[in-house]
Amino acid sequence: MSDGEAPPPPTPPTSTETLNMLNVVRERKSISRAEEYDIGDLLIKGHTVWSVTDPIRFDIITKHFKPPSNYAFPKTHMNGCKRSFSTKWMQPDRHPWLAYSKSQDGVFCLPCVMFAKKENLAGFVRTPFNKWTKLSDACKQHEKKKTVTTLMLLLLHVVIASSVL
């Protein structure tokens, strides 16, 4: 590739897991449930996302708790001040991959929780992140990991595919 040329677009994942997820999307397209999933409850209750069925996994991706902009997040005393999470961190131009857990008052990386199989992705994956004064730096570091970028593309692929089925 010469200077000035745009890199080729990423190839969508074609794993068996992705194909299974797309089949689930086709089957459940017309089904809607009012419940929202708290991603922290799923992990804390001893479940892993790999142990849930594909329909539940798809529901978690599309129906996880998304706090409204006026949501009153709990305040935590940090560095002499009361700090809390804000929905601005989840905006498309910031970190849309974050999923907030009401029960844990912390955030998780939705693509990593849904698809990561490596134990070394502990931050944002196995435990909630809730050190609000360090969130900006932690998000930047998390996004730099190659595995995380790949999983974000996988999640985006599933979500886009579900909207066109």
Per-residue model confidence as pLDDT tens digits over 76-90: 988 889 999 999 999
Q: What is the pLDDT of residue 22?
A: 47
- DSSP annotation of 34 reads S
Tokens of 3: 């200077």
More confident residue, 118 or 66: 66
Q: pTM for this one?
A: 0.71
Q: What is the pLDDT of residue 26?
A: 46
What are the extents of the domains in the chain? 16-164
Give the span between the Cα atoms of 95 and 1, in whole angstroms: 30
Predicted confidence band at 72 (pLDDT cuts at 50, 70, 90)? very high
Give the span between the Cα atoms of 157 and 111, in whole angstroms: 11
CB 121 within 8 A of CB 114: no
